[in-house]
Amino acid sequence: MKTISLLAAAATATLCACAAGPMMMKVDNAALPEAVRVPAGQKVTMTTTGVGEITYECREKKDMAGQHEWAFVAPVATLYGADRKAVGKYYAGPTWEAADGSKITGKQVAVAPASAGNLPLQLVKAEPAMGAGAMTGVSYIQRLNTKGGVAPATACDAAGKGKRQVVAYEADYVFYGM
């Protein structure tokens, strides 16, 4: 009985903390690979966890006739706050769109390896936001703590050319501004 009461109290405390609103993830940029660190002076404005999938297509390698590879087509993910409530979406562009309708696109600055089987870490320089809201003032986005999302391990050859495969992934997206 006492164990059940303690577990119930812990669960209630966790729910209460989540109900208070999303918390900002702390990022120690000095501990990250140099390539994906944000420039000095940037401050975290929002953190989300993207849960979704990446589509790959079996294509002939560029400049290598007769050889094939899984090529990245597009991502799609729901962005969640620390309270696990949906706060936006992520899709091709790359584009991050907040629930309030504001959105940003960006250009990849750098990547750094993650552990085997996971997408690389990434640093993206944001274009000015479209619309007013959560994405206003975002200058950089980091993709961290990746899980999954790499190209399929299954064969990709001439017989499979054009075949698409969807791979699940999860990553933390950290948004920065001045």
Mean pLDDT of 131-159: 97
Name the band, by pLDDT with cuts 50, 70 and 90, for residue 18: very low
Q: Enter the pTM of the model.
A: 0.84
What pLDDT is recorded for position 20? 35
Q: Is 169 helix (H, G, I), strand (E, B) or coil?
A: strand
Decide if pLDDT at 23 tops 70.
Answer: no
Inter-residue contact 103 to 131 (CB < 8 Å): yes
Q: Which of 8-12, 18-22, 108-112, 144-148 has the lowest mean pLDDT?
A: 8-12
pLDDT digits (tens, 9 = 90+) for 92-108: 999 999 999 999 999 99
pLDDT digits (tens, 9 = 90+) for 106-135: 999 999 999 999 999 999 999 999 999 999
More confident residue, 122 or 23: 122
For the chain, the structural domain boundaries read 23-177
What pLDDT is recorded for position 26? 87
Mean pLDDT of 148-155: 96
pLDDT digits (tens, 9 = 90+) for 31-77: 999 999 999 999 999 999 999 999 999 999 988 888 999 999 999 99
Could you give the CA distance from residue 7 to residue 5 in angstroms, rounded to a whole number? 5
Identify each DSSP E strand in the chain by its residue range.
43-60, 68-80, 86-91, 95-98, 103-112, 121-126, 140-148, 164-177
More confident residue, 155 or 21: 155
